[in-house]
A = this chain, B = another copy of it.
């Protein structure tokens, strides 16, 4: 199997993008990635599009065929990949397999979602379509509902506190405010969302014990990367290539209720383990990570489950600044889903784009992890029932 590298990465600012169609957003992000890879007139061999909701939200299918035409990349092969909120990482995985197989050389992977066509309960309902169609969805469970129950269990079993959750939210919004691609640009304070009388109004309960600021926003957005064999990358890439050193993907019970211990995110653990093994690296070798913080509790739980901290230590580590810039393992220096936003099909690609920027050392000082060599991502599908992990490594000249 051939080693595969990322030679281009691009994204558009996430947020409310009423003026753009889904296809516009995918095209803008793709053009930025193609340009970043210096491909000029070179055509790509295959295109993967990550998207979860175009059928439901835009009444549109065959989005990959539409994109390859819009970008004048005909007759490249084109497929759309769906794995709920982990669609982005699944698409990158399939692009990776396509290159590793030897059949394709240059592959574009673009992820996008135009979610703000629906807001409020309709957005929550859209996301809930990924729950079990027989034993979950008809009974009204939603993803925030699951996250609330998960948080309560986690608090009871491991002593995670509301303050620790708030510390994650504050860190991620602070970093988001520094990231030009982030949806939420506003830094927040403990006083504003927890310690003052106003906090009751500013930060109401969303899914007890989670409050509004524990949840990611509903965003539009798109991101893209270009993959090719490492050998080719060394020849043609105008910027430092980033090796996809390892990947992992694992599934868990579709419903939360069937897990022996619902606080164990087995698919997160397995996917991370596979990725580290393939990369021949350990959690401690990672310099930067993007975790799937659709809810603040998930950043804490994942930071333990992938091996950055022991079980029960993730919340304390967050409050102690170990996951901030300059800390033991800087997590979500992009602002994460919490602040960058979570256009579901785009998220897994945006995580990889952020890590590529980090490993190329091209971010502003206030976000750049110094001398970062190895990066890690977790993209979390369903409520942890289909998880994809990547270990990325800077290719030194």
> Which of A's residues lie within 8 Å of B, judged by CB?
1, 21, 23, 46, 52-56, 58-66, 68-70, 73-84, 90, 93-94, 97-98, 100-104, 129-130, 132-134, 137, 249-255, 266-267, 270, 381-382, 385-386
* Chain B nearest CB, measured from A347 CB (Å): 14
Cross-interface CB contact of A97 among B76, B84, B103, cutoff 8 Å: B103
* Chain B nearest CB, measured from A122 CB (Å): 12
Identical copies of this chain, number: 2
* Chain B nearest CB, measured from A338 CB (Å): 22
Residue among A74, A252, A253, A382 facing the most chain B CB atoms (10 A cut-off): A74
Residue among A59, A79, A133 facing the most chain B CB atoms (10 A cut-off): A79
Q: What are 14 A-B residue pairs whose CB atoms fall within 8 Å in the complex? A: A54-B55, A55-B129, A56-B56, A62-B382, A65-B254, A66-B133, A69-B385, A74-B253, A75-B252, A77-B250, A78-B251, A81-B81, A82-B82, A98-B101
- A84–B62 touching, CB < 8 Å: yes
- B266–A386 touching, CB < 8 Å: no
Given A21-B134, A65-B254, A382-B62, answer yes or no on A79-B82 (Cβ-Cβ < 8 Å). yes
Query: In the complex, which residue of chain B has the Cβ closest to the Cβ of A77?
Result: B249
Q: How far is B97's CA from A101's CA once the two chains are assembled, in angstroms?
A: 6
Q: How far is B136's CA from A23's CA once the two chains are assembled, in angstroms?
A: 14
Given A65-B84, A65-B251, A134-B21, answer yes or no on A90-B101 (Cβ-Cβ < 8 Å). no
User: Which B residues are in CB contact (< 8 Å) with A103?
Assistant: 1, 97, 100
- A251–B77 touching, CB < 8 Å: yes
- B251–A386 touching, CB < 8 Å: no
Cross-interface CB contact of A64 among B61, B63, B83, cutoff 8 Å: B83
Query: In the complex, which residue of chain B has the Cβ closest to the Cβ of A65?
Result: B386
User: Which B residues are in CB contact (< 8 Å) with A382?
Assistant: 62, 65
- B58–A55 touching, CB < 8 Å: no
Q: How far is B91's CA from A79's CA once the two chains are assembled, in angstroms?
A: 9
Query: In the complex, which residue of chain B has the Cβ closest to the Cβ of A133?
Result: B60
Given A61-B129, A266-B75, answer yes or no on A251-B69 (Cβ-Cβ < 8 Å). yes
User: Which B residues are in CB contact (< 8 Å) with A60?
Assistant: 129, 133, 137
* Chain B nearest CB, measured from A290 CB (Å): 20
- A61–B250 touching, CB < 8 Å: no
Query: In the complex, which residue of chain B has the Cβ closest to the Cβ of A52?
Result: B61
- B56–A83 touching, CB < 8 Å: no
